Amino acid sequence: MKELVQYLAKSLVNDPAAVEVKETEREDTSVFELKVAKEDLGRVIGRQGRTAKSIRTLLNAAAAKTNRKVILEIVEEN
């Protein structure tokens, strides 16, 4: 699923080399931290968060096959 997040993010941004995905696993939950270039943050989030919501929906659909929960956190670099 980490590859899915990377693929979707790299398809959306102008600087695909800056995309970083970090996966942390807990008991039945996987947490994905997505970092992109500051200029591409708006592209990943989308208007009113629609793009981010769509990415989360795709992740939840993929995770349903393995009976896991997924959380996508979009991290802003300072």
Identify the CATH assignment for 2-75 out of 3.30.499.10, 3.30.300.20, 3.10.180.10, 3.90.1300.10: 3.30.300.20
pLDDT digits (tens, 9 = 90+) for 11-34: 999 999 999 999 999 888 999 999
Hey, what amino acid is at 60? N
Q: pTM value?
A: 0.87
Average pLDDT (30-56) is: 94
The angle at the Cα of 38, spanning 18 to 9, to the nearest 5 degrees, equals 50
Amino acid at 9: A
- Beta strands (DSSP E) in the chain are 20-25, 29-35, 69-75
Burial class (CB in 10 A: 0-12, 13-18, 19+), 70: buried
Mean pLDDT of the chain: 92
